[in-house]
Amino acid sequence: DAGVTQSPTHLIKTRGQQVTLRCSPKSGHDTVSWYQQALGQGPQFIFQYYEEEERQRGNFPDRFSGHQFPNYSSELNVNALLLGDSALYLCASSWGPSWGTDTQYFGPGTRLTVL
Amino acid sequence: DAKTTQPNSMESNEEEPVHLPCNHSTISGTDYIHWYRQLPSQGPEYVIHGLTSNVNNRMASLAIAEDRKSSTLILHRATLRDAAVYYCILRVALGGSQGNLIFGKGTKLSVKP
């Protein structure tokens, strides 16, 4: 049973460019969350998708957008890249609505470097 | 959002028990206490969670204070593979939706052979 997969593993972009990161959830999961982890910090919640809709959003600008496909996979798009967007981007999947008890399964992340 | 406080770092010897503390004095009655850990160069992984009673699973035990203002993650016999950053997280149970994970800086656990 494949866990959460993310692509690409590493990515280098320059300021002002746009980037798309991809995530495939664990088999049987229908909810995908995205997190940004700067060096030496804990992950910060970006947004969560369920039933192809953004259900929750953290404190991130509109340059960060996402999409969930009918097969539950997801994309994270970042426009107008800034140096401060350099980070590890983590995708996590889980199943259905819950009341704070669900377990999130994380992928290995995509390391984005903005030059 | 309710906050948690953890020591920045802890050290342990291999095969000895480890007690990782977490303070959450502003916890609300419906907040679940979750623990995740992040091994080097990996994404976080779930360890354990609880609400009021102590919990055990194959990875660890979670001891929750009676007033729920603090909790302790217990690794019964630390191994080198347990060296990681451990995050204590309060999970807000929102009506009709999942509470997202709010990570702090966590506790970096070092395990000495």
- What per-residue confidence (pLDDT) applies to A96? 76
pLDDT band at B58 (very low <50, low <70, confident <90, very high): very high
Interface mutation vs chain B, best among A37, A41, A102, most B CBs within 10 Å? A102
Report the candidate in A47, A44, A52, A84 with the shortest Cα–Cα distance to residue A65: A47
Between A42, A94, A98, which is nearest B103 by CB? A42
CA dihedral B53, A104, B109, A5 (to 10 degrees): 160
3-state secondary structure of B64: strand
CB atoms within 10 A of CB A18: 11
Residue with the two structure tokens 């947004």: A47
Report whether pLDDT(A98) > 60.
no
A32 and A93 Cβ atoms separated by less than 8 Å? yes
Concatenated DSSP letters for chain A?
A: ----EEE-SEEEE-TT--EEEEEEPPTT--EEEEEEE-TTS--EEEEEEETTEEEEE-S--TTEEEEE-TTS-EEEEE-S--GGG-EEEEEEEE-S--SS-PPPEE---EEEEE-
Q: What is the mean pLDDT of residues B50-57?
A: 93
Concatenated DSSP letters for B4-37?
A: -B--SEEEEETTS-EEEEEE-TT--TTPEEEEEE
Question: Which residues from chain A sit within 8 angstroms of residue B104, using beta carbons?
Answer: 42
Query: What rounded mean pLDDT belongs to chain B?
Result: 91
Between B44, B92, B103, which is nearest A100 by CB? B92
Tokens in use for B107? 């506790």
pLDDT tens per residue, range A68-94: 999 999 999 999 999 999 999 999 999
Question: Which residues from chain A sit within 8 angstroms of residue B3, using beta carbons?
Answer: none
